[in-house]
Each structure stands twice: as structure tokens, then as C-alpha cells.
Chains A and B, each alone.
Chain A
């Protein structure tokens, strides 16, 4: 591996087996943690217009961000909930394989140089406010309002080996499945099926699909070209 200059795979394997802390480092280096706030703004617009009005009818809203990386998507969703006046009765569960990125969610601090892009995405998603009211800028960093973090629960979770841990009305898992082969994708989609309430929503990345998977007959895609499915049985 290039990062720590192991001469062979066998030696890397030995290090992982003999040094428990090294596995964490390996996961950090191998996993992809690139994300953006309101990435794919039209998807968030569809959530605003078609999903939130339905979630609003529930006394309590549970949302799972599976493979949340450093949390940009979780904060985006929290902002949407706040604007729909639903944040107070929502809980956002943010899980990822990589423990170090999850730490960032608890801090709620993101690089200031990204805010211009996020603000543009936010407006495209149908946002009407001044995006900068949601954070405090300090030098190169933007710290998001505490009220968002208070509605978030973070944990490490391995989609491949860990089981369902709750029932949700909405699950996000965007641009994670593209890194899995078909067999593994099917397994993870079954995990989502087990973790969704009846009539719950599943959101995937803009080029991902549940077509040809074992759960496809239980879901119907919303009529807006976005990758949002609703469980119908």
C-alpha cells in the first residue's frame, strides 16, 4: 500500500492483525469521504416538496443517513427539517464505517471555502433564506448552529456486516452502493428494506438504482425523475 510503504500485502495483513489501532487508519485511508452540502440539489428539492409533507403527519420522524461520511448531507437534511418546522420532532441517525469522519458531525464544523458552493446548492434546492444565517464563520471555518447537532445521533455502522438497528421513515444512502458488487448491493438493500417502515422512503445516488434487486417489487419510484423510492408493501 502506498500510504505506509508496505513491501507486500502479507505485511500489511500482519500489521492489521497484530495492531488493532491500525485497522482504523486503514479504513480512514481506504474509504471515500467526499461529499457536499445539498449535493444534487434537485433531489433535495423533491424531498422538500414531496417527502416532507408526508413526514410532517408523523408524531415523530426518524431518518437514517447510511454512509454519511463527514456529515454534509445530514446537516443539509436538518436544515430542510428546520425550514419545514419539523426539526424539533425529528432524529437524524448518521452512521459510517469510518469512525474519524463521524467525529466531525458532532463538531458541526466545515471549511469556510465551501460555503459559496453550498449556498448556491441550497438556493437550487428551493432554499429561501440567507444560507449564512445557519452558521457562524470563524477564520477558515463555519460552525453550524447547535440546534442541528442536538437532533443527530452518530455511530459507526458497517452496512456489510451489521444489522438493522431501528425503523425509519426515510433512509439516505447515496453513492455508497456504486462501490459494492451486485451481491453485496442486494444484501444492503434488504437491510434497508428491513429498516424502513411501510410507506417509508429510500433515497439513493443519482446514478444508483434498485431495479433488478430483490426488493424492487416492494417499492415505487416517485414521479419526478429523482432517485427516491417509496415502500408500498
Chain B
């Protein structure tokens, strides 16, 4: 098993502001990696990378083929690809069918994280209008990892967190604007 901690954040409609807040709260020098999977248009240019970079001193990278995982980096799933882990040191990309009408799909990345980083992942699922991410979050939970779900009452679109809350066992449920702080405390403990 790897000692690297993997923070997996999935979000869709209405999640951007919360992700920006989480990113701004991420502590430096703790050796974790953060992977962000956000639904977006297939042809969108990588302005997200610049946007996240403006909120944190940590390096932000959109993942390329066979990208080597460097601790302390924030990774962004590229538009129009599914993002997976080849093993504990390397990412892999996949251009096959959409899952839940989405590519990148949150489920695909979450399930891969559960397989490659069992019990050392923190799964976070935010606002969205799609069932993507719920099953993946459940898989992360069953490996013994912490999972956080945005309180649907605070979500712009409550469907996605609600779908997850139907099937997971012991999620930490938090208002969107408190997730960043909670995560920070968890990481600097």
C-alpha cells in the first residue's frame, strides 16, 4: 500500500466556487496529492488550471498521458478524457465511452482511486445535476477511507450529493463553504 494520501474531489454544476475554496485552504508540505474531476465541455480550454493556480501556491497541472504522480501537486482531469491511476506512481487516461453522459466521469476516477489507494483516499463529492460520483464514492468508503459529501441543502444543485447520500454509510456531511476548512484540519493533524 502507498503512504501517499490522495484527495479526490468530484463536482459538476454549482461546484466550482466550493472547489476554489477547498483549493485555497489546502496546506502545503503535507505530501498529499489532490485530484479534481469536474464536468465540463469537451472542447474547453484549460482556464481552470489558471483559475486554481491563482488560489494556491501548490503546483496545478492538467494531467497528460503517463503523467508521473508528484506529491504536493493538484491535478486536474483533462476535458474529454477519463482519468485513472495506472499504479501508485502514474496516471493513465482513457478516451472510451462517456459514463453518466460525462467524460471525465467522477465514478471512473473514484473507483480507480479506491483500487490503487485503498484506505488512503479522501473522497469529496459536491453539487451537481447528475448521478455520477455516487457509486465511486461508495467504493472509496468501503476501502476504509474518509468520504465527505456536500450538504444537499447548501448545494446549488442537490441531485448529485443526494444520490451519494442514498448509498453511502458514514459520510461526513458539511455545508459547501466548510469543507475546505474541515479538510485542512484533517490534513495538518
Contacts and interface: CB of A to CB of B under 8 A. Distances in A.
Q: Tell me if B's interface is mostly helix, strand, loop or mixed.
A: loop
* A interface residue count range (under 10 / 10 to 19 / 20 to 34 / 35 or more): 10 to 19
Interface in B37-67: 42-43, 63-66
Interface in B78-134: 78, 80-81, 92-97
A34 B43 contact: no
B96 A34 contact: yes
B64 A207 contact: yes
A207 B65 contact: yes
Nearest to A211: B64
A20 to B, nearest CB: 27
A99 interface: no
Contact of B65 (A40, A121, A177): A177
A208 interface: yes
A178 B95 contact: yes
Nearest to A41: B43
B78 A207 contact: yes
Contacts of B95: 32, 34, 175, 178, 205
Nearest to B98: A34
A121 B80 CA distance: 13
Contacts of A121: 43
Q: Which of A182, A205, A206 has the most CB of B within 10 A?
A: A206
A12 interface: no
A42 B97 contact: no
A205 B63 CA distance: 13
Nearest to A31: B96
A209 B64 contact: yes
Contacts of B92: 178
Contacts of A119: none
Contacts of A34: 95-97
A208 B66 CA distance: 9
Given A32-B96, A178-B93, A178-B95, A124 B65 contact: no
Contacts of B93: 178, 207
Interface string A69-107: 000000000000000000000000000000000000000
B80 A40 contact: yes
Given A175-B95, A178-B94, A207 B43 contact: no
A35 B63 CA distance: 21
B112 to A, nearest CB: 14
Contact of B80 (A124, A179, A182, A206): A206
A185 B43 CA distance: 25
Given A178-B92, A178-B93, A124 B78 contact: no
Nearest to B95: A175
Given A34-B95, A206-B80, A207-B78, A178 B65 contact: yes
Interface in B10-48: 42-43
Contacts of A206: 78, 80
B25 to A, nearest CB: 28
- Which 4 A-B residue pairings sit nearest by Cβ, starting from the closest? A175-B95, A32-B96, A178-B93, A207-B64
Given A42-B43, A208-B65, 16 more contacts: A32-B95, A32-B96, A34-B96, A34-B97, A41-B43, A121-B43, A177-B65, A178-B66, A178-B81, A178-B94, A185-B66, A207-B63, A207-B64, A207-B81, A207-B93, A209-B64
28 contacts: A32-B94, A32-B95, A32-B96, A34-B95, A34-B97, A40-B43, A40-B80, A121-B43, A175-B95, A177-B65, A178-B65, A178-B92, A178-B95, A179-B94, A182-B66, A185-B66, A205-B65, A205-B95, A206-B78, A207-B63, A207-B64, A207-B65, A207-B81, A207-B93, A208-B64, A208-B65, A209-B64, A209-B65
